[in-house]
Structure 1
Amino acid sequence: MAGASITVDDAVVLEAIDDYARRADDRRPLMASIGAYLVTSSQRRIERETGPGGVKWGRLSPRTANRRVNGRARGYDHMLRVSGRLYGSLTSSSDNDSAEAGTNVIYAGPHQFGAEIVQHARSQRIYRFYDKRSDRIDYRFRSRSRSNFESWVTIGEHKVTVPARPFLGFDDYDQGEVIQIVADYYMEGTP
């Protein structure tokens, strides 16, 4: 998975799986269940805005919160869920010996691990509205079709820091849940 992923490699969990695995050759259904749990756990972290271990994510910057989305200010709520693309792209894959959850969304990595993005210097045309009666410019940006005034602006090179907001992970709670999935799987008599 290109964006970001988490693989179960916890020694205690693998030992529990190995213990039960001696009883069955085909563990694909078990591994699929573990992968599905990892997806659900990652989605729960996005909903709760916490990383593995319950560590709360840092608050959005005021600049990001004030950015306009669908005609209104974005706000401080629903980090990583404005469009729902990242949340909905979480998926799992598994085989007989492993389970993995992740996403192929390209911006998942910078959100998971944090990043510093260099914005190169650029010039661009912006559009605004000039009111002739009051001889004032409305400094809000407009689309070209809704403006009557255009100008060129130059934006210098700058860096944008994206703080880490880990949504993929494997903590003590997940370890207990996966061990319970393994136990339930073999207690039900599934080969």
Structure 2
Amino acid sequence: MTADLKHNLAALPHIAKQFEALAKAGQSPKPLLDDIAESLLISTQHRFELERDPKGNKWQPLSWWTLFQRGGGRKGWHKKNRSKAKKGTMEKISGAKILRASNRLFQSLTSVVTNSEIQLGSNVIYARIHQYGGQAGRGKKVTIPARPYLGISDNDSEMIDEAVAEYFAARMPQEGAP
């Protein structure tokens, strides 16, 4: 029930040949992949704070029911006049962050790196439903909208290309060089 993003750089045609040359030279791409994974994790956390998906679109706002629950449910509202909130309730819900009620999902974001692959994700059981959306709750009566937080943005893609180019330029002999 976790959500993750796997990115196999060695499978990209323009990078595969460089990875092969690196392997022939007896060098590991793991330091490069570690750097990229760290940058992707920071980028994902930044998008999380901005409440945006990898394409830059804002996440769907919290539902009224979620805001009501975060405000303390029935306990947070005035008994006689439901429109009057108890002191502090409106302040509590007015600045409500999406997917950050407990901060557990955000704090669970992690990366795993092998010699050819970067895996970024979360092991929190509800991570997948927030990434992809779907039906949840008793009887699957609640629709949770997709709020993608994992993915590679255009900026991330540029960062990966630059990191790969710099890494290989520093480690692999240039063609035609003595």
TM-score between both structures, scaled by the size of structure 1:
0.69
Who wins on radius of gyration, i.e. which is larger?
A: 1
The answer as to whether partners of 2:9 and 2:15 remain within 8 angstroms in 1 is no
Structure 2 gaps of 5+ residues are: 73-87, 174-178
Q: Give, as a single letter, the amino acid of the residue that structure 2 aligns with 1:98.
A: E
Q: Deviations over 1:2-60 (max 9, x none)?
A: 5101112479x823432432135311111111221221121112111111211111111
SS of 1:67's partner is helix
How far, CA to CA, are the matches of 2:44 and 2:132 in structure 1?
Answer: 14
Higher strand content, 1 or 2: 1
Q: Secondary structure at the match of 1:165?
A: coil
Which residue of 2 is the match for residue 45 of structure 1?
47
**Sequence identity (%):** 38
Query: Does structure 2 conserve the Cα–Cα contact (< 8 Å) formed by 1:64 and 1:74?
Result: no
Give 1:99 deviation, angstroms: 0.9
> Residue 77 and residue 118 in structure 1: after superposition, are their counterparts in 2 closer, same or farther (change >3 A)?
closer
**Distance verdict in 2 for CA 1:3–1:49, change over 3 Å:** same
Tell me the TM-score normalized by structure 2.
Answer: 0.73
Q: Which runs of 5+ in 1 are unaligned?
A: 121-157
Q: Number of paired residues?
A: 152
Q: Does 1:179 align with 2:177?
A: no
Deviations 1:60-102 (A, max 9, x none): 1112122236874434532112221111111111111111101
1:54 counterpart SS class = coil
CA distance in 2, matches of 1:68, 1:164: 20
Task: Letter of the 2:6 partner, please give it.
Answer: T
Report if aligned partners of 2:7, 2:118 keep a CA contact under 8 Å in 1. yes
2:130 matched to which residue of 1? 111
2:59 maps to a residue whose letter is: W
Letter in 1 for 2:117: S
The structure with the largest helix share of the pair is 2
Aligned in 2, Cα 1:69/1:178: closer, same or farther, shift over 3 Å?
Answer: farther
Structure 1 pair 75/58, CA: closer, same or farther in 2 (3 Å)? same
